[in-house]
Amino acid sequence: MSRVAYVNGRYLPHGDAAVHIEDRGYQFADGVYEVIAVRGGRLVDEAPHLDRLDRSLAELRIAPPMSRRALGLVLREVVRRNRVADGIVYLQATRGVARRDHPFPPASRTALVVTARRARPPNRKAIEEGIKVITIPDIRWARCDIKSVSLLPNVLGKQRARESGAYEAWQVDRDGMVTEGTSTNAWIVTPAGELVTRQTDHAILNGITRRALVAIARQEGLAFVERPFSVGEAKEAREAFLTSTTAPVLSVVRIDDAVIGDGRPGPLGRRLFALYAAHAEGRDPA
Ligand code: PDD
């Protein structure tokens, strides 16, 4: 089946889809993006994703590419044309095409690209056995709350993780505190059984999966706190896991050389995995 991409008002064969060489996303990473999961043909948490998109655009003073209603229609149309029942839809909005010059161009039209693809088969082994993370210095800018396409430190960090045989790299700030993964949020369960994730500030992206899990933790009456945690504390944790649209509640069983808990996914991580799956599939938890 041939894939289809939406590019600035047109649905094009994926192989022919292109943007202009002077798109500011290409030259300056002057743009933002979202990745939304598709489950059973439904967009998971569409509204919070589009709220976050609006916020990212507003922070960078990029005009919305179209109304929210129209954007919803485009997302669904790209999903439909690519026959994605389970997968992801990706959207990227940039400040558009202009002669290369750092200040905002006097007139520009926000450029919009949307693609969708089926998910790779879920990595059973990673879910059942847990994954490894390494820790690296957080070398990113001071506005990681904006979902900008400027992802070079994240790319370098993820590559380091891969080369170390790890799934993810947890980034660490100057105070020795974990900020987040390169494309995931970070969580631990303390020896006392308290669930901890960093509070949302400019140092991390406020993950939509993170937000859903915070709501689930509150609903379930779990002992839960939002605060920074150190690498040392993470290594002593009873459990650890990470969350993102593409890796919801994946247990971390090793951080650098430290084994977490008994080296297998812990009970709270497994429970939250099941509760989140029910949320994503729009059903009541079993
Ligand atoms: N990444 N932190 C960072 C730096 C991220 O890039 C992401 C998402 C998250 C988790 O956010 P959410 O739960 O909304 O997916 C946290 C996406 C999936 C990506 O870049 O592919």
Domain spans, the chain: 4-118, 124-280
Cα 243 to ligand 1 centre (Å)? 8
Question: Using CA positions, which residue lies closest to atom 4 of ligand 1?
Answer: 183
DSSP state of 201: S
On average, the pLDDT of the chain sits at: 96
Atom of ligand 1 lying closest to residue 154 CA: 4
C-beta of 200 in contact with ligand 1 (< 6 A): no
148-166 residue pLDDT tens: 999 999 999 999 999 999 9
What is the average per-residue pLDDT within 203-217?
98
Cα 237 to ligand 1 centre (Å)? 23
Query: Counting Cβ atoms within 10 Å, is residue 7 exposed (0-12), middle (13-18) or buried (19+)?
Result: middle
* CATH code at 4-118: 3.30.470.10
**Helix, strand, or coil (residue 215):** helix
C-beta of 89 in contact with ligand 1 (< 6 A): no
pTM above 0.75? Answer: yes
Q: What is the per-residue pLDDT for 123?
A: 83
C-beta of 185 in contact with ligand 1 (< 6 A): yes
Catalytic residue list: 147
C-beta of 168 in contact with ligand 1 (< 6 A): no
Cβ(145)–Cβ(204) below 8 Å: yes
Closest to 84 in 3D by CA, of 113, 53, 115, 112: 115
57-101 residue pLDDT tens: 999 999 999 999 999 999 999 999 999 999 999 999 999 999 999
C-beta of 246 in contact with ligand 1 (< 6 A): yes
Cα 52 to ligand 1 centre (Å)? 12
Question: Using CA positions, which residue lies closest to atom 20 of ligand 1?
Answer: 183
Question: Using CA positions, which residue lies closest to atom 3 of ligand 1?
Answer: 183
Are the folds of 4-118 and 124-280 the same? no
**Helix, strand, or coil (residue 206):** coil
* CATH code at 124-280: 3.20.10.10
3-state secondary structure 59-108: HCCCCCCCCHHHHHHHHHHHHHHCCCCCEEEEEEEECCECCCCCCCCCCC
